[in-house]
Amino acid sequence: MRSRLKSTRSRGRVGVSVVVAGVLALGLAACSGDGGGTPGLDGNTLKMYTWIGGEADEQQWSDYIAGGEHADPNVAVSVSGPPIGDYYTKLPTVMRSSSAPCLVTFQNGRVNPYVQGLEPLDDLAKKNKLDLSAYSPAMLEQLSVDGKLYSLPFNAGPTVILYNKKMFKDAGVAEPTNDWTIDDFIATAKATTKNGVYGFAIGQASNPIATLMAADGHPWADENGPLLDDPNFHDALQLLVDLSNKYKVAKPLEAGGSFPDIDAFSTGQAAMEMQGLWDLQHAQENLGKDNVGIAVIPSKSGASKGFIGGSGFAITKTCGDKQKAFDAVEAMTSKSGLEFVTTSQASVPARLDALDAWSTNVGSPAFTAVIKQMTGDATPSPVPSNQAQLDTLLTQYEVDAFSGKSTVAEVLQQVKAGLAQ
């Protein structure tokens, strides 16, 4: 049920083997039981459950583990898991299984619904004299619940606009500037909508709404949950609907599918998408490394702020060797570990002291300027404990706004009612 993938990357004596299970069968023990050993480990190797949707994900985890080994030769981690679309649905069952892993990962700070199965890291950090001030404060806040830290961040990538440079050139439009406005964006999307290709691909659920709100300094949620009654929330969703129905520059959202924006952009069916920087490598693989540009999120004012949604490593409560697990997490998120990763990954490291190495390795002043703007002036938003439910409801009802069955206001009321149940 498992296949072994050798990393294509080898530097010095560091070589990494990543264990990949394309579809995890609800108990990791179904493939290889603990056999009476330490819970969460396979011999001396820590088991990590994460999202794996293809070669880009496989390479990502291979690189982070290699970075951990670079910082600490004792690090040994294997990974398994489903594509991201199934990951959070399966995670609770996996964490409760008799063969639960020691390590799990979280994207966009989504630790809140899972804290009962996670080990708080504050005492371990103090015991190991880990300086938490070296990490992005925004990411530490996102990965904490009720003042307790549950995950150490490894990246702090903001959501950006990815765009197809060839399509821009063919349409005769200039590449985006770091002060472009919503009006500039719409004009660009109109110019690149032609020959059956849309100018923009719309994403599902809360991320595009939160990103548009953050660009103008409006948080999309507070400690009580998503701000569904905020006029800025309504306006952000309305803009997405208008891009399809009014301006005709985007395909309307339809029922079904997980990442219609990623699919459309990576296959050349759209000139732009609004996505986390984590998708850059995937897009480059499909469209060509030099053909994918990144831009700040357009804003009404032209002074765009960032929406950060990075990821982190966490330790399960059932892990039989939490110190060994913490050592691995600390190594994979260390300065030297993340600097090692930046040589092949485009994701922005969550450690402030590793940003210079990232900027050097990216090799593009334009990329660096975008990321520094998006991370240096970010709009902080807490991650609601009911975000998974919110995203499910938004995905269910927002299609009615695109089809004309409901207004945006009606959609938000349906979502609000669903959250109250």
Q: Are 380 and 353 in contact (CB under 8 A)?
A: no
Tens of pLDDT along 115-147?
A: 999 999 999 999 999 999 999 887 888 899 889
Query: Which range is most confident: 142-151, 343-352, 373-382?
Result: 142-151
Q: Does the pLDDT at position 19 exceed 50?
A: no
* 160: nearest Cα among 369, 401, 415: 369
Confidence of residue 375 (pLDDT cuts 50, 70, 90): confident
CATH class of 159-307+386-420: alpha beta
Identity of residue 343: T
Share of the chain above pLDDT 90, in %: 67
Confidence of residue 363 (pLDDT cuts 50, 70, 90): low
Q: Are 199 and 191 in contact (CB under 8 A)?
A: yes
Find where tokens 């990494």 sit: 16
CATH superfamily, domain at 3-157+309-374: Periplasmic binding protein-like II (3.40.190.10)
Q: Residue 313 is inside which H or E element, if any?
A: strand 311-315
What is residue 218's predicted lDDT score, i.e. its pLDDT?
94
Q: Which residues pair with 209 in a beta bridge?
A: none
DSSP state at residue 35: T
Q: What are phi and psi of 96, to 5 degrees?
A: -90, -5
* 371: nearest Cα among 138, 137, 158, 215: 158
Tens of pLDDT along 73-118?
A: 999 999 999 998 899 999 999 999 999 999 999 987 789 889 999 9
Average pLDDT of span 320-331: 98
Q: Where in the chain is the domain with CATH 3.40.190.10?
A: 3-157+309-374, 159-307+386-420
* 79: nearest Cα among 119, 117, 115, 28: 28
Average pLDDT of span 295-299: 97
Q: Does the pLDDT at position 2 exceed 50?
A: no
What is residue 70's predicted lDDT score, i.e. its pLDDT?
96
Q: In 203-288, which ranges are continuous DSSP H helix?
A: 206-215, 231-245, 260-266, 280-287
Q: Is 11 exposed, middle or buried (0-12, 13-18, 19+ CB in 10 A)?
A: exposed
Q: Are 396 and 256 in contact (CB under 8 A)?
A: no
What is the number of other CB atoms lying within 10 angstroms of the CB of residue 258?
Answer: 14
What is residue 346's predicted lDDT score, i.e. its pLDDT?
66
